[in-house]
Structure 1
Amino acid sequence: MADGLPSSDDRPDAAHTRPDGVTNETVEALGKLSEALEVVEQARGFLYGFHRLTGRADLALGEAADLFDAAGQRELADRLRNGVIGRNVIHGRWTFQVVEDYDDGYYATVKDFEKTARDDLVGGRRHLFEAEMKEERRTHGRAHHEARPNDEL
């Protein structure tokens, strides 16, 4: 630190450094866009959870129908098989179709827009807002506060 600047390994890498001429407002807007994408990703995860849980429930309902049959409750088992098991969860759709519609529509549109904005405004760099927040919050020169991973550890 002879020149007063942190050593190069104590500064963010180029992928997490703002390009020249990019304003604070642009970095903040990209940060908000990234935050929105993260929420969309989380919603997608919940949707996949809904898909898996609904599938598990349908299989358990099938087992229940078999158990009703074994218990001599054939009419109830048939009503369960014909009225509930394999039923669409939304008009005309099983959960895999809901997931596909979400993935191909809303999710893909948001993800593509976020990437296009990054490509157009900051050369594709990701998480600039967070990288700058890290620089503001970390204690320079202190262990476990490094700017980036040290591969020599």
Structure 2
Amino acid sequence: MSGEHADPAQRGPGLDEDTVEAVGKVSEALEFVERARGHLYSFHQLMGHADLLLGDACDALEEAGHADAADRLRTDMLGRNVINGRWTFQLVEEFDDGYWSRFREHERRVRDDLQNGERHVFEAHMKEKRRTKGRPGHEAHPD
């Protein structure tokens, strides 16, 4: 369905340009939240990898005869919470179960209520305005 009704006459009754633009802004906001979520997952993976590297570093320090330094790092930093009471996987889970899931539900409801559930109507309309009809590489839809 997504983007099939780029022509304003095909978008259904009552779907005016202001509504299309407003719904597009809601979807764009969600796209930025999706990007932030990706960065949160990157943070999660980077911190996890850092902890594994620190474990290796502690082993290397101990093998090099620096057991005190290795022990200090192991007991204070290895496996330490990154935020009060939480490892990064818990941050990811809370974000996914809370803000991200809720925002996705709201964005979908706005689309369902105002655009018959269609996604990217704003972009589809922009594509229709900007493409050169009849020119190769400017088709409205895939074959």
State TM-score, norm by structure 2.
Answer: 0.93
Alignment map for 1:1-150 (pairs within 5 Å): 13-14=4-5, 18-150=11-143
Matched positions, count: 139
Q: CA deviation at 1:13?
A: 2.7
CA distance in 2, matches of 1:15, 1:119: 17
| Cα deviation 1:34-84 (Å, max 9, x = unaligned) | 100100000000000000000000000000000001001001000010000
CA contact (8 A) 1:15 1:126 kept: no
Structure 1 Cα separation of the partners of residues 109 and 29 of structure 2: 15
Which segments of 5 or more consecutive residues in structure 2 lack a partner in the other structure?
A: none
**Offset of residue 15 of structure 1:** 8.3
Moved more, 61-70 or 21-30: 21-30
Q: Is the 8 A contact 2:23 2:110 kept in 1?
A: yes
Does the residue aligned with 1:116 lie in a helix, a strand or coil?
helix
Gaps of 5+ in 1: 1-11
Instruction: Return closer, same or farther for 1:100/1:15 CA change in 2, 3 Å cut-off.
Output: farther
Cα distance in 2 for partners of 1:128, 1:81 equals 54
**Percent of counterpart pairs with the same letter?**
57
- Residue 105 (structure 1) shift: 0.9
How far the C-alpha of 1:123 sits from its partner, in A, is: 1.2
Q: TM-score normalized by structure 1?
A: 0.87
